[in-house]
Amino acid sequence: MTPQLQQAIKLLQLSTLDLQLEIQEAIESNPLLELVEDETYENQQEADPEDFQAAAEPTVQIDNSAETSLGEQLQTETIPEDLPVDTNWDDIYPSLPASGSANNSEEYSQDFRPAASETLQEHLMWQLNLTPMSDTDHLIALSLIDGIDTDGMLTVSLEDILTSFDPEMEIELDEIQAVLTRIQHFDPVGVAARDLRECLLLQLKQLSADTPYVSESIIIVEEHLGLLASRDFNSLKRKTRWDQPTLQYAISVIQSLNPRPGSAISADETEYIVPDVSVTKIKGRWVVELNAEATPKLGINATYANMIKRADKSSDNTFLKNNLQEARWFLKSLQSRNETLLKVATRIVEHQKGFFEYGEEAMQPLVLHDIAEAVEMHESTISRVTNRKYMHTPRGIFELKYFFSSHVGTKNGGEVSSTAIRALIKKLTADENPKKPLSDSKIAIILGEQSINVARRTVAKYRESMSIPPSNERKRLV
């Protein structure tokens, strides 16, 4: 593949945030590319285009076939050599607003750089350094904190920690237990517990004494946690001899606790999603548009372009010529990327109108080949276009890949999307009687009554993919 085709493919598969970084790097490395402000663009429009074209005429020969789509380029592996010198991003998408000039990029990076996330160990170490204790206890605390996993649970036994110390230090097991107790009072509440029961008890015992039903909750966790885990409410009610409201409120207190306290302190950085396209309903028609704020307004720097001289083979002139051609290629690749993205998104919306009108239950089966055939592109191209690209709809933001799903046959010979089946299963479990939740077999029977042929194992697979627990775990008191 030519370098130009490689660049087009690279830009095609970038997410919006990655594309913005790529554009910024291109601007910093190529003096012929620039972010265009509104006033600058208007001045360029008023300038004599013939004078501007003549300044760079020796560098390239304009190819009128440059309007071919990226899909054709990817299939034929030929991309036109050049773009006109005065090609401007606003010529293609006039509504795109300027995202700021390159001059304030340094200010942005300094003032708005996100702070590094804190790990759970760092959070505990910060509290340890503020806690007065002896050098020996501090050493024990370091060993304990090192044995805490990301969920906040202590994964090593106190005996193993004891054997890790030099016997000459004369550390006793009781001393390690005492230090552990101090760490268990650190934030987040419930940290450094050795099992689920201890984790829940630590959180319950730090609640205010006048918290309703906290004493009943402690009894359940200390004595009947196994019955609660198996949702054997009849046995739990018989052993505690409480009425149903008391039992229900005590369980609700336990359910409000966090079995993974360390998850509250996460080192994972937030990943922001910038939609690439938006879908709105205008006068009864679904309209697909590119996100005008996703890509900055780019253009060719007229000052540098006019410095290129005819038949000048100096190093400076050659440098400008090469960068001018690279700038044209970059603009054309951006144009092709957006044209292809808009074309694919439009076909997806046309195929999935039922989803936009009625929701997931009306999702139609769709595979890459269907869209590839509709837009006359290769399936690999469609895969690149839909990867990490997002669509903003009245029903939320979805990755383009979300709209693709396999199908299941119906009794009358039709097809139903697997996404629609998942939506039906979700709806059935949400509307079920919590005292008698639906089993996978029962759900399969109900779907069969709607002419949807699915096996019990298929229902189980779809249910698990949506993190819906089995029927025995969904059973609860009312």
Q: Report the run of H or E that residue 108 belongs to, with start and end.
A: helix 105-111
Total domain count for the chain? 2
Q: Please write down the long-range contacts of 441-449, taking CB distance under 8 Å and 24 or more positions apart.
A: 447/421, 448/411
User: Is residue 152, in this structure, part of any structural domain at all?
Assistant: yes
CA distance 132 to 448: 66
| Side-chain half-sphere exposure of 215, counting CA atoms within 13 A | 3
Structural domain of residue 454, as residue ranges?
Answer: 407-474
Q: Give 398: exposed, middle or buried? Use CB within 10 Å, 0-12, 13-18, 19+.
A: middle
Residues 283-334 have pLDDT tens digits of: 889 999 988 777 777 888 888 888 887 667 788 888 888 888 888 888 888 8
Cα 42–chain centre separation: 38
High-pLDDT (> 70) share of the chain, % = 79
Task: Give the global pTM.
Answer: 0.57
Q: Which of 229, 264, 299 is the last residue of a domain?
A: 264
Average pLDDT of every residue of the chain = 80
User: Is residue 294, in this structure, part of any structural domain at all?
Assistant: no
pLDDT of residue 414: 66
Residue 116 reports pLDDT greater than 60: no
User: Is residue 173, in this structure, part of any structural domain at all?
Assistant: yes
| φ, ψ (nearest 5 deg) of residue 198 | -65, -35
pLDDT of residue 96: 41
Section 107-111 average pLDDT = 41
Section 180-206 average pLDDT = 94
User: Is residue 452, in this structure, part of any structural domain at all?
Assistant: yes
**The pair of three-digit structure tokens given for residue 312, joined into one six-digit string:** 């000048």
CA distance 205 to 214: 8
Considering only residues 418 and 154, tell me which one the structure prediction assigns the higher pLDDT.
154
User: Is residue 384, in this structure, part of any structural domain at all?
Assistant: no
Q: Give 261: exposed, middle or buried? Use CB within 10 Å, 0-12, 13-18, 19+.
A: buried
pLDDT of residue 272: 75
CA distance 36 to 90: 9
Residue 209 reports pLDDT greater than 70: yes
In sign, the C-alpha dihedral spanning 472, 473, 475, 477 is positive
Q: What is the DSSP-derived secondary structure letter of residue 258?
A: -
Size of the chain, expressed as the number of residues it contains: 478
Residue 384 reports pLDDT greater than 50: yes
* Low-confidence winner among 12-26, 85-99, 178-192, 454-468 (lowest mean pLDDT): 85-99
User: Is residue 327, in this structure, part of any structural domain at all?
Assistant: no
User: Is residue 12, in this structure, part of any structural domain at all?
Assistant: no
User: Is residue 26, in this structure, part of any structural domain at all?
Assistant: no
CATH number at 440 reads 1.10.10.60
| Beta carbons within 8 Å of 174's beta carbon, 6+ residues apart | none
CA distance 452 to 420: 11
Residue 99 reports pLDDT greater than 50: no
pLDDT of residue 1: 59
Q: What is the DSSP-derived secondary structure letter of residue 296?
A: -
Q: Which of 233, 264, 295 is the last residue of a domain?
A: 264
Considering only residues 55 and 234, tell me which one the structure prediction assigns the higher pLDDT.
234
Residue 383 reports pLDDT greater than 80: yes
Q: Which of 222, 242, 264 is the last residue of a domain?
A: 264
Section 343-358 average pLDDT = 92
